[in-house]
């Protein structure tokens, strides 16, 4: 079977390389006329009109199509109906028939049908395209899908980023869901799911086999281990894997030893998140998703971007900012009813908007830029340390700062369960997004 497929593939390539010359029609007409002149009288002549030539060409195409039916059918299918959920890279791959058609369905007890229309697969991920025939109102009432996984043997492929929308014309919900890449392409895979139907969950599954010829190989994988110092912490870019569907950057912050030491000291991890951008020959590559996790072996991050351009000479990875937690020791005297007071903590402006008493409690209203978090907060009231009871009333507002830059201000109120005359606000930790703009440049050699 493999030899037959190889022969069909070779024949397909040969046919694709055939081109009809511009003067083909004229030359064919002349040839037919010459043959007609040499025929003896009484024999019907060839029709050399344009319609006759077109008919002859159609017969040739039909003959070729019959001879290569399996090849044309195999290569001539794309996943239909999901363009609005696809990135530009996925659209192009689908246009080039890089997706695998599955077209298998499962019917729930109430007659609702879910169909796995197709998949795309490479070393970075498996992307599944599936739909469910369901009324929009019913879907909005919560009778939708959940717990979607793909299983192969004992291996579970965990879902990653996904998106979906309702197709008003076809009266169905469509999804594009990304999963971890499969560990094996040989075994039968199982797409499992559950549906909430008015509070009753029904599980289902669709079995399928991956077509190895549709699994796209990586363009390249770079194992780098490049180190960048960020806020006194070493950030390591471990690898970059570029495929036809996406580009994934993986890295690590703390190692096993640092995690253990911070735990023993009771210290918070120095970096809680990281923002990465990549550029191909100076042009930004669209960010698709990202994640940050803490394990026993360290803190790991991963950022996924769209596929790189086919022609590329320089790839740049930029760490734009990190979310850092910094221990501080800030003690600020407060007075009830005083005008606004500004204090600066680790370069972040904190505005005390109001201090007041109500129902035996003391309230402090403050404003910071969105993303700035104050923690380990206490209020010293007449020499007694009172812990924060709660925070409420979070409001966001767009403002223009002194440098004419737009920012989003976050105002909230802190509640402390006591009152008094001598007030001092204590802050022991601040978390914020720190600008970094450190980069690594990589030359791509063909």
The answer to the question of residue 160 being in a domain is yes
Tell me: do 208 and 250 sit in the same domain.
Answer: no
Give the single-character DSSP code of 124: S
Of the residues 187, 216, 245, which one is the last residue of a structural domain?
216
Q: pTM for the full model?
A: 0.66
Tokens encoding 299: 């803190």
Provide the domain count of the chain.
3
Does residue 426 lie within any of the structural domains?
yes
Instruction: Take residue 27 and report the two structure tokens written for it.
Output: 């030359």
Token pair for residue 428? 């022991």
Q: Is residue 151 part of a domain?
A: yes
d(CA 357, CA 419): 7
Same domain, 110 and 204: yes
pLDDT at 328: 92
Tell me whether residue 377 is in a domain.
yes
pLDDT of residue 289: 86
Alpha-carbon distance of 285 to 48, in angstroms, equals 55
Residues 355 and 374 in one domain: yes
| Residue at 88 is within a domain | yes
Residue 8, domain member (yes or no) = no
Residues 407 and 420 occupy one common structural domain? yes
**Residue 375 belongs to a domain:** yes
Alpha-helical segments (H) within 85-201: 88-95, 136-140
103 with 144, same domain: the answer is yes
Among residues 181, 216, 251, which one ends one of the domains? 216
Would you put residue 186 in left (φ > 0), alpha (ψ -120 to 50) or beta?
A: alpha
pLDDT at 240: 92
> What are the pLDDT tens digits along the chain (446 aa)?
444 444 444 444 444 444 444 444 454 454 444 444 444 333 333 334 444 544 444 444 444 444 343 333 334 578 988 999 998 889 989 998 889 999 999 999 888 899 999 999 988 889 999 999 888 777 777 667 777 888 887 788 888 888 888 887 778 899 999 988 888 787 789 999 988 777 788 899 999 988 888 888 878 888 888 888 876 778 889 999 998 899 999 998 876 666 666 666 666 667 888 899 999 999 999 998 888 887 777 788 999 999 998 888 999 999 998 888 888 999 999 999 887 899 999 999 999 999 999 999 999 999 999 999 998 999 999 999 999 999 998 888 888 776 777 889 999 999 999 999 999 999 999 999 988 888 889 888 76
Assess whether 246 and 150 both reside in one domain.
no
The domain in which residue 341 lies consists of: 326-432
Same domain flag for 241 and 298: yes
Question: Of 169, 187, 216, which one is at a domain's C-terminal end?
Answer: 216
64: helix, strand or coil: helix
| 309: nearest Cα among 151, 89, 11 | 89
Q: What pLDDT sits at residue 151? A: 84
Place of tokens 């790189």: 308
- On whether both 177 and 269 belong to a single domain, the answer is no
Which letter does DSSP use for residue 59 in this model? H
- Is 34 part of a structural domain of the chain? no
Residues 187 and 102 in one domain: yes
């Amino acid at each position: 079977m493999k030899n037959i497929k190889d022969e069909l593939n070779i024949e397909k390539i040969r046919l694709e390389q055939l081109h009809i010359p511009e003067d083909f029609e004229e030359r064919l007409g002349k040839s037919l006329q010459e043959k007609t002149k040499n025929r003896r009288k009484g024999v019907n002549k060839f029709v050399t009109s344009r319609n006759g030539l077109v008919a002859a060409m159609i017969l040739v195409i039909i003959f070729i199509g019959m001879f290569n039916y399996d090849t044309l059918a195999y290569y001539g299918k794309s996943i239909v109906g999901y363009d609005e959920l696809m990135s530009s890279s996925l659209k192009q791959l689908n246009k080039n028939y890089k997706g695998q058609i599955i077209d298998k369905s499962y019917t729930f007890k109430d007659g609702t049908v879910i169909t796995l229309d197709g998949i795309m697969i490479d070393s970075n991920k498996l992307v599944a395209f599936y739909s469910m025939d369901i009324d929009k109102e019913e879907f909005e009432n919560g009778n939708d899908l959940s717990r979607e996984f793909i299983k192969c043997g004992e291996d579970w492929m965990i879902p990653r980023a996904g998106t979906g929308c309702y197709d008003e014309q076809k009266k169905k919900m469509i999804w594009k869901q990304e999963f971890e890449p499969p560990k094996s392409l040989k075994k039968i895979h199982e797409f499992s799911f559950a549906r909430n139907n008015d509070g009753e969950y029904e599980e289902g599954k669709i079995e399928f086999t991956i077509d190895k010829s549709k699994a796209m190989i990586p363009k390249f994988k770079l194992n780098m281990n490049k180190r960048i110092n960020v806020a006194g912490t070493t950030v390591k870019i471990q690898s970059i894997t570029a495929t036809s569907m996406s580009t994934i950057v993986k890295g690590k912050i703390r190692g096993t030893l640092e995690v253990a030491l911070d735990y023993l000291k009771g210290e918070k991890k120095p970096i809680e998140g990281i923002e990465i951008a990549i550029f191909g020959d100076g042009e930004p590559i669209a960010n698709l998703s990202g994640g940050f996790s803490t394990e026993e072996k360290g803190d790991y991050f991963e950022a996924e971007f769209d596929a790189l351009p086919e022609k590329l000479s320089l790839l740049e990875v930029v760490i734009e900012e990190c979310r850092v937690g910094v221990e501080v020791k800030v003690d600020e005297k407060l007075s009830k009813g005083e005008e606004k007071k500004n204090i600066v903590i680790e370069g972040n402006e904190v505005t005390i908007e109001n201090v007041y008493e109500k129902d035996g409690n003391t309230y402090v209203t403050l404003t910071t830029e969105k993303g700035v978090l104050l923690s380990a907060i206490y209020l010293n009231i007449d020499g007694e340390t009172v812990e924060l009871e709660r925070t409420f009333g979070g409001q966001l507002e767009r403002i223009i700062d002194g440098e004419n830059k737009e920012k989003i201000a976050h105002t909230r109120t802190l509640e402390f369960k006591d009152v008094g005359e001598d007030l001092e606000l204590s802050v022991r930790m601040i978390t914020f997004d720190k600008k970094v703009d450190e980069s690594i440049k990589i030359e791509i050699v063909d």
